[in-house]
Each structure stands twice: as structure tokens, then as C-alpha cells.
Structure 1
Amino acid sequence: MSKGAIRIGVGGWVYQPWRDNFYPAGLAHTRELAYLGAHLTATEINATAYRLQKPATFAKWRDTVPGSFRFALKGSNYCTNRKNLAEAGESVAKFVGQGLVELGERLGPINWQLRDTKRFDPDEIEAFLALLPKSHEGVTLRHAIEPRHESFDDPAFYALAKAAGVAVVVSESEKFADFAAADGPFVYARLQRCRPEEATGYPPPELAAWADRARGWAKNGREVYAFFIAGAKERAPAAAQALIAALAGDAVQPAEC
């Protein structure tokens, strides 16, 4: 079996501190996505969790980055920040129908991040997972779910996600419960412990360990997405570039390389 593609990125592309340590001095703000797309291989868009985007916006993002780049989208909070997730069907349909298919092959997974107070209820979660469509207008949709309450660390939850073809987000966080299960159709990791004192966010031995994990996940054909998201966010691009370098020959390389 061929190895799965490994893509490494950050969250978004508009962040003031990156204009001091990642983007070249004087780079026009309108060129930041293009620059990020030439130096990393994926990004997770947080804005989609808060508001619907226009089809033209997705098309513009698509046309700004190389064909090998992927956009992961945060699922709408209108879907996930509710008492009963089983009642999110209309909101899920609205989210999927907003025009995200304009991203085409550059569309990565959709991450449905749950509130940290949401506890695991087997019937509710099974019903929610059943609401997530496999495709829309001929474009394949891949879904990941990110629980943040320790009650989800339950074999029954992992079994439900696997049966639904939904990946459980591999999380590493100082604030929320960590989940290390990676038994889904692809792997979606959110690394949230960048340190300000580390030039590459994570010390080299930890980056090497994450590189080994990514290789292990990809060896059986699964795609792997890893995002440096929180912690000392100003270090996230350097962390992503360092992990790409550690995976040279095994990961998708930025278009500029």
C-alpha cells in the first residue's frame, strides 16, 4: 500500500505577530495567503466556525494557493454549540451548502469542534455523526470531530466515529482533554503547545517524535494533517516549517521547495 500524503500547517493566515517573524517585511496583507501557501501545505480556517462565507470567497482562496495545498475548515458553531447535537441537521446543511465546494481539490477535512462542556452521550453523538454528509454537489467531504471533554475517552465513542467514517482529532492541549486515538480514515492532529522560548515552537526532540508519529500514520495509506494552532501562536509557522523539514521525503513539500 502506498503512503498517505502528510500535510502540515497552522491556523489561518492573518496574525499580526507573523508579520514580524514569518512574512517578509513590507509584504502586502493581501499577499499573505499566497506566501503561506508557498511555504506550508495546509491551513485550518477558524472563520468558518463563526460565519458563512460566500462561494466567491472560497474560489478566491482556492486560486491563491498551489494545487497541493489544502484548506481544513472549522465546522459552524451553530452546529456544535447546542444542547442537543442531534438537532443540528438544518445548520449542517446550511454550512455544507454555503459554497465550500468551490475549493474543489483544495478542500481538506471539516473539523467539528465540540464545546469543552459537552459530555459524551452515545445516542446524541451517533445521531450527530449521521448528519454529516459524505459529499455535496459531487465533491467528497471528510469529517473530523474534536471532543474536548474527558468523558469522550470511551471505546464506545471511538467505535461510533470509526463506524461513521469520521476521524477523531488527535489533540495536544494545555487547556482541554487530550485525545491520541488515530483509528479513522485519515488523521487530523492539532498541536497546541508551542512555547515562546523555543524558536521552532516545539524542541527538536518533540518535533522528531511527531514526525515519527506522522510517518507511522501515513504508512498504511491514510492522509495526515497536522496543525500548530495554539500556545505561543507566534511560533506556529516556524514549528510547521520545522516539522515539514523533519519529514523531508515523506511529507508533501511546499510549492516553493
Structure 2
Amino acid sequence: MTVRIGISGWRYEGWRGVFYPKGLAQRRELEYASRQVESIEINGSHYSLQSIKSWRAWHDAVPDDFVFAVKGPRYLTHLLRFRDEKAVPALANFFASGVLALRHKLGPFLWQFPPNYRFDAERFDRFLSLLPSDTGAARALARQHDGRVKSPWFAAHGDRPLRHAVEVRHESFCTDAFPAMLRRHRAALVVSHAIADWPYAEDVTSDFIYIRLHGAQALYSGAYADKALDRWAQRVRAWAAGGEPADARRLGKAAAPRVRRDVYCYFDNDQKVHAPFDAQRLRERLGAA
């Protein structure tokens, strides 16, 4: 069982001189941030294909026991929406771009869907079926890339399982069929706390928990109060121990108890520099700092 508390992204101008030491070179910000938290979501991969040079640089900048979460491309989740034959080559391009070069520092993939994406059981099941379950399957998929990837990279460094987490933002997903589908595919439902009109659910659908905390007062803003962090620490402990919080809010049935679960928790309240400090405060409550 591993609990990792981290942040969503690391390159923010407003953090310089506040979280980052004054005068720290921008190229060293990841190096610094990765010594302050245990995991970071890579956001750039959501907006465009990254180069193998970037993936290797990120791998080399962080400690050996550090783990990244990688955000899947919005070209798939927001534009194509996995609804036509372009989805497979687009997914192949993502895995051929070099993400596997993170090697053992590669953690879960985050697939974030937009607020206007409605639950379509057939299409969503097809999407989940396309996601590779291990690095061998990811390499096989990557070989189907098209010409958009100029320098494909899918070298073998051993086979290991891959994890996928899904964040949804439309009320149509509030049905017990959704967590049941995630369980069949062993994908995690993101526990997504936000001051927004998004569904909130805590169904345990995989062998790990993925939490995103988007802000206490407004979307992407507002520090979490001590009482709120105490509550999140209690929930993290319950999930990590293999159980669930007594007041868990679920769409479907409770998960079968496990001995332990890994937990990944990311603060996304990056405005006004709250995220890294809230992450450190939660780590302190969990005895991880």
C-alpha cells in the first residue's frame, strides 16, 4: 500500500518566489517540486503530444521513487470522444510519443471528460476496452501510430500493469451502471471535489483510489481549511486500509474489502499557490512528511 499526495502540474508563474525559491531557474522547477511532494500530474500531455525529449527529461528530473500521473489527450476525450475510427490511431500516437520512457516512474493515467459529455454505455465501454492493461499492450498499440508521431518510442523495459482513472463531469453518469462498468475494466472512478456542478461519487472500482481536489472556495482556487484536510486524511486512511469511509457517497454497491489499496491524491487548486502547500499539509496529517 502506497499513499502519494501531489499536485496537478508544476509550471505556474504565480508560484515563483512563493512556492519556488526566488531566483530558481524555470528548468529546475520540476526538480524542486518533486522533492516537496510525492507525485505530480503531467498536464501538458492533455493539450498536445509531447516529445520523447520531454518524457526523458521529466524522468531524469525527479527522484527514483517518484511517480507521475499522466493526463490523457483531450483530442480523444473532448474532440473525438472515442466515437469513430480515428480513436485507435490517436490513442496509438499518445503511447508512441514516449510516455513509456517514464519507465517505473509512470503511475496512473487520468482520462478527464468534459462537462457536456454524456454517459453512453456502449461508447464508454468501447473506450475502456481500448485502454492498454499493461506496458506490453501499450507497446503493441503504439505500433499502430500514424505520421503525426515523427520519432516514435516504445522500447521494452519489462512488462508491468498500467492503471487508468476516469473523471466525469456530467450528471448522466450518476447511475449504478457506470461504476459497475469501471469495475469490469478495473478502472478507477476519480473522487473529484470541486465547487462546480459536477457529480461527486466515491465508488471504489479498482485496486487503487484517485482523488482530485479542485479548490475549497472556487474552482481551482481556495485553500482547504484544517477541518477539511482532517476529513480528507480520514478518508485516505480508510481507503488505503482496504475499506471505505463510513459515510461514503456511492452510485452503486460497496466494493469488496481488500487488505490494502494504493491512494493517489492531487491538489488542483493551483491559483494563488494553494495546491503545493495544501498537499504538504495533508502529507503531515498522514505522517508522510
Match runs of 1:142-221 below 5 Å:
142-183=163-204, 184-195=206-217, 201-220=223-242, 221=260
Distance 1:86 1:160, change over 3 A: farther
Q: Partner of 2:131: helix, strand, or coil?
A: coil
- The answer to whether 1:69 aligns with 2:66 is yes
8 Å contact kept, 1:194–1:228: no
TM-score normalised according to structure 1 size: 0.89
Match runs of 1:37-76 below 5 Å:
37-76=34-73
8 Å contact kept, 1:195–1:235: no
Equivalent in the alignment of 2:156: none
Q: Single out whichever of 84-93 and 51-60 deviates more from structure 2.
A: 84-93
Q: Which has the higher contact order (CA 8 A, sep 6+)?
A: 1
Q: Partner of 2:79: helix, strand, or coil?
A: coil
Q: Single out whichever of 222-231 and 104-113 deviates more from structure 2.
A: 222-231
8 Å contact kept, 1:201–1:232: no
Runs of 4+ off more than 6 Å: none
Q: How many residues align?
A: 244
Q: CA RMSD in A?
A: 1.8
TM-score normalised according to structure 2 size: 0.80
- The answer to whether 1:238 aligns with 2:259 is no
Q: Distance in 2 between matches of 1:232 and 1:195?
A: 11
Q: Distance in 2 between matches of 1:83 and 1:54?
A: 22
- The percentage of aligned residue pairs carrying the same residue is 39
State the Cα deviation string for residues 100-145 of structure 1 (Å, max 9, x = none).
Answer: 1110111111111111101111111111110101122434321111
Structure 1 gaps, min length 5 = none
Equivalent in the alignment of 2:121: 122
Cα shift at 1:86? 4.1
Q: Single out whichever of 150-159 and 12-21 deviates more from structure 2.
A: 12-21
- The answer to whether 1:13 aligns with 2:10 is yes
Q: Distance in 2 between matches of 1:139 and 1:99?
A: 16
Find the partner of 1:34 among 28, 31, 34.
31
8 Å contact kept, 2:168–2:199: no
Equivalent in the alignment of 1:132: 131
The one-letter code sitting in structure 2 at the alignment partner of 1:95 is F
Distance 1:227 1:71, change over 3 A: same
